[in-house]
């Protein structure tokens, strides 16, 4: 379980997050929504350690995350798929996947883990030995998701996975995400601009506006509230 | 015709030395986007240490090995102490620090050992070999250079392509942030990269010493020729360093042979200028990577 | 009546160009008194400092204002010095013309190097200019007949007028050149050209979108700084009387860099600190090494080591050099009626002018 408490982040004079507090439960997807510049990406980057907060705390399963290095947070089972996907283009698909296994799997286990992920994303099979730069947007998204899942994370942070993807692929991705989370030990925090598709698979929804949480509620209720949707989410 | 052959063989042997130092530059540049201007001088300093050890009675090969390790240590320490604190600010400040180091190393060598040129012993005979009855400008020592550098290149290649450590190092160089998010201890790898570069630099110093006027400045020109080689090869790949080294070695040898050794730096300048103007990314570089 | 004229005078001094001129004249007057009172040896040193200031001012413009990094300015100094030597050996023209020729030929060399340099950034440019500095001795050695070989060429300043000592006269020539260069460069940096230089330094793409011809600007900056280096090199060899390659080793280019960085990259007045460093550090380190009874060989090397350490420490602790530090102190001086300003903006290497 992820607990974010009174998290404040600023970049120079700009306050990106103001006393943000919310919880994300395991076996569920928590959507973080809001307009551009609301602070959603900053929130994820603070949780994974790329950004140091001014004040507040982030704890996962009782362990404190603030102040730890990015690598040590990752080794706690936190997988962050950043904005723009973060495929390492100069490496092959297989190397991208293998890289993620190096800290958690023994050499003998790595191959099997890669096979498992390639079964989950059969489309990547053909690109196995190809450089990641040759992949399309949707394929890259599959790769980084696979790379995140291969280390069997306990906390998965996703930053706008649907960006630039066709609606069909987005739907498939969301469905897969739901399947991987439901009833399992995985906590997912999903940042999305595409609020509609995010709400359709989430259990809980948090809306950020200008760095502050304005709504934190059950996803179905947020979906049903027309006024809320119009005002903060634009549909 | 024999002159051409001689210049070519000479250029090849020198080119291997440039390739070694170029490899050191590539390793550091790939990881930290810095040109380590002190790399040649560091190699010079460690070779002086070898000289002291050998003069003090150590066996050649023991001194050789120890000095390679010292080079590794100096490289790693430099990164930890001087370069890491400057990370993230202006890109040029670390470069200026390495220039300062370059000067300090030469000053140290001069202060401790003095300016007089001395001879550094060669591991093997430096006399030209004979093929049939013709003397060729290639000696056992040149053969040693060839083999040593090829072994180094091969080891580097294997390291990067086939080991988990190499994968981590490549990932850290290509995409530092993503590598960290995947649990890679990037900081340690940067230090390791600098250490390996120091190792290669020491090797270059040891290989170059017997054929140069061995004094505090003997690595200056070799450094800048190796820089030229690295630029030709693209500053991104070890293979590029090798090919670049050979090209630079040959070209400079021809210039020195046909036009006079005093004009070698000018030849290198022309070569460097042409390389930078025509393909600033070098022959082997991939298109500029997107940094995440 | 007097008050009106005075007010008008004060208003005039707000004009940067005029202000620079006035400051230079004032400095000149002070220096005139100073050199009159100093010993001949000290005059010699002041003149040396002035010559170095000429070189450093150009370098500061190139690196600080225009963002181009050169490790080869020792080479441009050599070009200027050798030009002076050749003119003096083979022609008997006017001294001022000879100095101008030194600067001019060096400027041409600056264009030659500056053209490929437009495509290069930071370390690449450093490498190329380093190679340039390393190639100069080879050229001179290749044609010893023209360039005087090991012994080099001889140069001499015109004889001092009247009862003035030769040292004082020479120092005055050097100081005058330094003051002129100061005024010219200060005005240049304050003018539209200065803004163009800085625009190119800060963001080449933005500058070219704004209509600035980026390559031309960079080459111009290189030419100007090379001209300064050439002039300074010529002035310096007048002190020793000989031009040969031994005067311009690689270490000179690096010492110029250290002096510029310590003085304050991008500033003009800071270059005075740099010049003082260049002239007094070798002396000071000589006395230091005799204090520690190191061998005579160690002297030269101690100075080198200290220069290197200066570079390293400056980059780690004080990238803006002495002048930058002074400016920071001035900006943060306690002012009446104002509380704490809060955290100051971070200082970067490319100090604004």
DSSP secondary structure letters along B68-110: HHHHHHHHHHHIIIIIGGGTTS-SHHHHHHHHHHHHHHHHHHH
pLDDT at A228 over 90: no
Q: Which range is least confidently modeled, A46-50, A123-127, B19-23, B211-215?
A: B211-215
Q: Out of B220, B221, B263, whose CB is closest to C142?
A: B263
**With bands split at pLDDT 50, 70 and 90, how would you rate the model's confidence at B112?**
confident
Asked if the model's pLDDT at residue C110 lies above 90, the reply is: yes
Which residues have a Cβ under 8 Å from the Cβ of A31 and sit 6 or more positions away? A190, A191, A192, A195, A198, A199, A202, A204, A205, A206, A219
pTM attached to this predicted model: 0.84
Which chain B residues have a beta carbon less than 8 Å from that of A151? 182-183
Count of beta carbons in the 10 Å neighbourhood of residue B266? 20
CB nearest A88 (choices: B164, B178, B183): B178
CA dist A105 and B267 (Å) reads 53
Provide the 8-state DSSP code for C345.
P
The secondary element (H helix, E strand) that includes residue B148 is helix B140-162
**Worst-scoring range by mean pLDDT, A26-40, A44-58, A212-226, B80-94?**
B80-94
Of residues A166, A185, A111, A177, the one with CA closest to residue A144: A177
Which residues in chain B have their CB less than 8 angstroms from residue A80's CB?
A: 181
CA distance, residue A38 to nearest chain B CA (Å):
21
**Cα gap B115→B128, rounded to integer Å:** 29
Residues C154 and C244: their CA atoms lie apart, in Å, by 9
Terminal Cα-to-Cα distance of chain A (whole angstroms): 30
| C-beta atoms of C120 and B91 within 8 A | no
Terminal alpha carbon distance of chain B: 53
pLDDT at A78: 94
Using the Cβ of B171 and the Cβ atoms of chain C, whether some distance falls under 8 Å is answered with no
Worst-scoring range by mean pLDDT, A118-122, C187-191, C339-343?
A: C339-343
Confidence of residue C49 (pLDDT cuts 50, 70, 90): very high
Among C134, C261, C298, whose Cβ lies nearest the Cβ of B96? C261
| Residue B25: closest C-alpha in chain C | C123
Contact between residue A99 and residue A91 where contact means Cβ atoms under 8 Å apart: yes
Scanning B100-119 for CB atoms below 8 A from C yields 100-108, 110-111, 114-115
A231: number of CA atoms within 13 Å, CB side? 10
Comparing B276 with A69, the larger pLDDT belongs to A69
pLDDT at res. C297: 62
Three-class SS state of A225: coil
Domain ranges of chain B: 27-220
User: CA–CA separation, B272 vs C123, rounded Å?
Assistant: 13
Q: In this prediction, does ipTM exceed 0.85?
A: yes
**Region A9-34: what's the mean pLDDT?**
90
| Contact status, residue B76 vs residue B193, Cβ threshold 8 Å | no
Q: Rounded to a whole number, what is the distance in Å from the CA of A103 to chain B's nearest CA?
A: 6
Of B35, B217, B263, the CB nearest to C123: B35
**pLDDT tier, B266 (very low <50, low <70, confident <90, very high otherwise):** confident
- The answer on pLDDT for C11 being more than 70 is no
Instruction: Mark yes or no for CB contact B182/A89 under 8 Å.
Output: no
B214 vs A131: which has the higher pLDDT = A131
Best mutation target among C109, C306, C311, C324 (most B Cβ atoms within 10 Å) is C311
Q: Out of B97-106, B184-193, B227-236, C316-325, pick the least confident.
A: C316-325
Q: Which chain B residue is nearest to residue C259, measuring alpha carbons?
A: B100
> Sorting pLDDT into bands at 50, 70 and 90, what band is A159?
very high
Distance CA C205, CA B56 (A): 59
Dihedral sign for Cα atoms in the order A51, A54, A58, A62 = positive
Nearest beta carbon to residue B182 from set A74, A84, A89:
A74
Q: In this structure, what DSSP letter does residue B131 have?
A: E
Cβ–Cβ < 8 Å for A211, A51: no
Query: Quick one: pLDDT at residue C127?
Result: 86
Residue A200's pLDDT is what? 87
Q: Which of A12-16, A86-90, B247-251 has the lowest mean pLDDT?
A: A12-16
Q: Which among A74, A88, A95 is the nearest to B183, CB-wise? A: A74
Residue A14: strand, helix, or coil:
strand
- The encoded tokens of residue A17 equal 């997050």
Which chain B residues contact residue C116 at CB under 8 A? 273, 276-277
Mind telling me how many Å the CA of B273 is from chain C's nearest CA?
7
* Local confidence band at B47 (pLDDT 50, 70, 90 cut-offs): very high
* CB within 8 Å: A74 and B185: no
- Nearest CA-CA partner of A85 in A142, A131, A4, A144: A144
Q: Where are the alpha helices (DSSP H) in C292-343?
A: 296-317, 321-331
Interchain proximity B292–A70, CB inside 8 Å? no
Are B181 and A99 an interchain contact pair (Cβ–Cβ within 8 Å)? Answer: no
pLDDT of residue A156: 94
- Evaluate if residue B203 carries a pLDDT over 90: yes
Which position has the token pair 């298109």? B287
Q: Give the pLDDT confidence score for residue B77 in this predicted structure.
A: 95
Mean pLDDT of C86-94: 82
Question: Would an 8 Å CB–CB cutoff place C137 in contact with chain B?
Answer: yes
Residue C210 has pLDDT above 90, yes or no: no
Q: State chain A's maximal CA–CA distance in angstroms.
A: 55
**Do C298 and B111 count as a contact with CB atoms less than 8 A apart?**
yes
Q: For B192, how many CA atoms within 13 A lie in the half-sphere containing its CB?
A: 15
Helix C250-263 vs helix C73-90: crossing angle, to nearest 10 = 120
Q: What is the pLDDT of residue C9?
A: 66
| B37 contacts on C by Cβ (under 8 Å) | 126, 130
Residue among A153, A147, A151 nearest A124 (CA): A147
**Which chains lie within 8 Å of chain B at 3 or more CB pairs, if any?**
A, C
pLDDT tens-digit series, residues C320-351: 888 888 888 888 887 765 444 444 444 444 43
Rounded to an integer, the average pLDDT of C150-161 is 77
Average pLDDT taken over every residue of chain A: 89
Residue C117 — pLDDT band, cuts 50, 70, 90? confident
CB contacts of A147 in chain B (<8 Å) are: 182
Residue C134: list chain B partners with CB under 8 A.
220-221, 224, 265
- Nearest by CB to A82, from B186, B289, B292: name it: B292
Interface of B with A (CB under 8 A): 164, 167-168, 170-171, 174-175, 177-186, 286, 289-290, 292
CB pairs under 8 A between A and B: 72
Closest CB from A79, A99, A107 relative to B171: A99
B278–C contact, CB cutoff 8 A: no
* Cβ–Cβ gap B290/A104 under 8 Å: no
Q: Is the pLDDT of residue C179 over 50?
A: yes
In whole angstroms, give the CA distance from residue B253 to residue B262.
12
pLDDT at residue B200, as a whole number: 96
Query: Do C130 and C253 form a contact (C-beta atoms < 8 A)?
Result: yes
Contact B266 C135 (CB under 8 A): yes
SS3 for B159? helix
Query: What residues of A are in contact with residue B179 (Cβ under 8 Å)?
Result: 88, 99
Query: What's residue C98's pLDDT?
Result: 87
CB contact under 8 A, A90 and B286: yes
- Name the pairing type of β-strands A55-60 and A28-33: unpaired
* CA–CA gap between residue B236 and residue B31 (Å, rounded): 9
Residue closest to C311 by CA, chosen among B82, B89, B75, B76: B82
User: What is the average pLDDT across B203-215?
Assistant: 87
- Comparing C289 with B190, the larger pLDDT belongs to B190
Under 8 Å CB-to-CB from B128, ≥6 apart: which residues?
A: B135, B136, B137, B138, B139
Q: Where would I find the H helices in C191-295?
A: 192-202, 204-209, 214-240, 250-263, 270-291
pLDDT of C344 reads 45
Let me know how long chain C is: 353
B188 pLDDT band, cuts 50/70/90, is: very high
Query: What digits encode the pLDDT tens for the residues C294-321?
Result: 666 667 788 888 888 988 988 888 888 8
Residue A63, strand partner residues:
A60
Q: Determine contact, residues C223/C68, Cβ cutoff 8 Å.
A: no
Residues of A in contact with B171 (CB under 8 A): 88, 91, 95, 99
Selection from C172, C146, C147 nearest residue C248 by Cα:
C147
Span B32-47, average pLDDT: 91
> Where does the pLDDT of residue C2 fall: very low under 50, low under 70, confident under 90, or very high at 90 and above?
low
For an interface test with B, the pick among C109, C123, C253, C350 (most B C-beta atoms closer than 10 Å) comes out as C123
Which chain A residue is nearest to residue B290, measuring alpha carbons?
Answer: A89
pLDDT band for position B279 (cuts 50, 70, 90): low
Using CA atoms, how far residue A221 sits from A196, A200, A204, A225, B132, in Å, is: 13, 11, 9, 6, 93
Whether pLDDT at A224 is above 90: no
All structural domains of chain A, each given as residue ranges with its CATH number in brackets, are 2-87+154-233 (3.40.50.300)
Average the pLDDT over each of B251-260, C39-48, C62-71 and give the range with the smallest value. Answer: C39-48
Residue C298 CA: distances (Å) to CA of B42, C106, C289, C306: 19, 34, 7, 12
Q: How far is CA A219 from CA A197, A199, A226, in A?
A: 11, 6, 13
């Amino acid at each position: 379980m992820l607990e974010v408490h009174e998290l404040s982040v600023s970049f120079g004079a700009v306050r990106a997050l103001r006393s943000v507090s919310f919880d994300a439960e395991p076996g569920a997807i928590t959507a973080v929504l809001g307009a551009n510049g609301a602070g959603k990406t900053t929130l994820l980057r603070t949780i994974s350690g790329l950004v140091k907060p001014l004040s507040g705390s982030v704890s996962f399963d009782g362990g404190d995350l603030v102040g730890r290095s990015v690598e040590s947070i990752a080794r706690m089972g936190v997988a962050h798929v950043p904005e723009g996907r973060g495929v390492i283009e100069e490496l092959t698909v297989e190397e991208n996947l293998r890289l993620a296994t190096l800290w958690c799997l023994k050499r003998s286990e790595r191959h099997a883990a890669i096979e498992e992920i390639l079964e989950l994303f059969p489309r990547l099979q053909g690109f196995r030995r190809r450089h990641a730069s040759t992949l399309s947007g949707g394929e890259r998204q599959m790769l980084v998701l696979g790379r995140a899942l291969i280390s069997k994370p306990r906390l998965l942070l996703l930053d706008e996975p649907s960006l630039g993807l066709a609606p069909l692929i987005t739907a498939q991705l969301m469905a897969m995400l739901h399947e991987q989370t439901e009833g399992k030990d995985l906590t997912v925090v999903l940042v999305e601009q595409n609020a509609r598709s995010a709400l359709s698979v989430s259990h809980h929804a948090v809306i950020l506006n200008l760095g502050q949480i304005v709504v934190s509620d059950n996803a179905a209720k947020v979906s049903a509230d027309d006024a809320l949707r119009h005002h903060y989410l634009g549909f | 015709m024999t002159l051409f052959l001689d210049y070519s063989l000479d250029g090849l042997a020198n080119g291997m030395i440039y390739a070694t130092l170029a490899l050191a530059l590539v390793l550091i540049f790939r990881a930290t986007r810095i040109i380590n201007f002190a790399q040649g001088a560091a190699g010079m300093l460690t070779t002086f240490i070898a000289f002291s050890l050998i003069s003090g009675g150590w066996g050649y090969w023991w001194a050789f090995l120890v000095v390679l390790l010292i080079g590794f240590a100096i490289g790693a320490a430099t990164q930890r102490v001087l370069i890491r604190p400057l990370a993230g600010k202006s890109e040029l400040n670390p470069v200026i620090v390495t220039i300062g180091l370059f000067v300090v190393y030469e000053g140290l060598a001069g202060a401790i050992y003095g300016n007089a040129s001395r001879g550094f012993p060669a591991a093997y005979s430096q006399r030209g070999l004979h093929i049939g009855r013709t003397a060729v400008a290639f000696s056992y020592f040149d053969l040693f250079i060839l083999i040593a550098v090829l072994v180094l290149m091969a080891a580097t290649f294997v390291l990067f392509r086939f080991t988990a450590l190499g994968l981590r190092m490549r990932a850290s160089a290509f995409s530092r942030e993503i590598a960290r998010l995947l649990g890679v201890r990037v900081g340690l790898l940067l230090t390791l990269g600098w250490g390996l570069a120091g190792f290669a630099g020491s090797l270059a110093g040891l290989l170059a010493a017997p054929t140069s006027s061995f004094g505090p400045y003997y690595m200056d020109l070799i450094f800048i020729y190796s820089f030229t080689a690295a630029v030709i090869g693209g500053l991104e790949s070890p293979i590029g360093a090798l090919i670049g080294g050979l090209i630079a070695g040959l070209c400079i040898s021809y210039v020195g042979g046909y036009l006079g050794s005093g004009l070698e730096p000018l030849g290198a300048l022309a070569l460097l200028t042409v390389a930078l103007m025509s393909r600033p990314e070098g022959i082997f570089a991939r298109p500029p990577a997107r940094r995440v | 009546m007097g008050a009106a004229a005075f007010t008008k005078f004060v208003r005039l001094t707000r004009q940067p160009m005029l202000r620079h001129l006035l400051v230079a004249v004032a400095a000149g007057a002070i220096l005139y008194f100073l050199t009159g009172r100093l010993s001949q040896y000290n005059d010699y040193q002041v003149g040396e400092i002035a010559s170095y200031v000429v070189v450093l001012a150009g370098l500061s413009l190139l690196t600080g204002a225009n963002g181009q990094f050169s490790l080869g300015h020792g080479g441009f100094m050599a070009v200027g010095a050798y030009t002076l030597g050749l003119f003096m050996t083979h022609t008997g023209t006017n001294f001022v013309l000879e100095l101008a020729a030194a600067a001019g030929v060096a400027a041409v060399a600056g264009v030659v190097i500056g053209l490929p340099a437009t495509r290069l950034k930071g370390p690449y440019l450093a490498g190329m200019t380093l190679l340039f500095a390393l190639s100069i001795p080879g050229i001179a050695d290749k044609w010893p007949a023209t360039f005087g070989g090991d012994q080099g060429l001889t140069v001499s300043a015109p004889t001092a007028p009247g009862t003035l000592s030769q040292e004082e006269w020479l120092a005055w020539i050097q100081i005058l050149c330094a003051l002129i260069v100061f005024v010219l460069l200060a005005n240049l940096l304050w003018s539209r050209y200065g803004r163009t230089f800085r625009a190119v330094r800060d963001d080449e793409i933005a500058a070219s979108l704004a209509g600035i011809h980026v390559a031309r600007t960079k080459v111009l900056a290189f030419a100007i700084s090379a001209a300064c280096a050439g002039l300074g090199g010529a002035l310096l060899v007048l002190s020793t009387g000989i031009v040969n390659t031994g005067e311009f080793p690689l270490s000179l280019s690096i010492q110029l860099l250290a002096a510029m960085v310590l003085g304050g990259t991008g500033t003009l007045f800071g270059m005075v600190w740099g010049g003082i460093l260049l002239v007094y550090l070798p002396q000071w380190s000589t006395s230091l090494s005799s204090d520690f009874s190191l061998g005579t060989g160690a002297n030269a090397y101690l100075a080198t080591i200290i220069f290197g350490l200066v570079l390293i420490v400056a980059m780690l602790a004080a990238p803006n050099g002495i002048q930058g530090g002074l400016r920071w102190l001035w900006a943060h001086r306690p002012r009446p009626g104002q509380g704490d300003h809060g955290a100051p903006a971070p200082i970067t290497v490319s100090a604004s002018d």
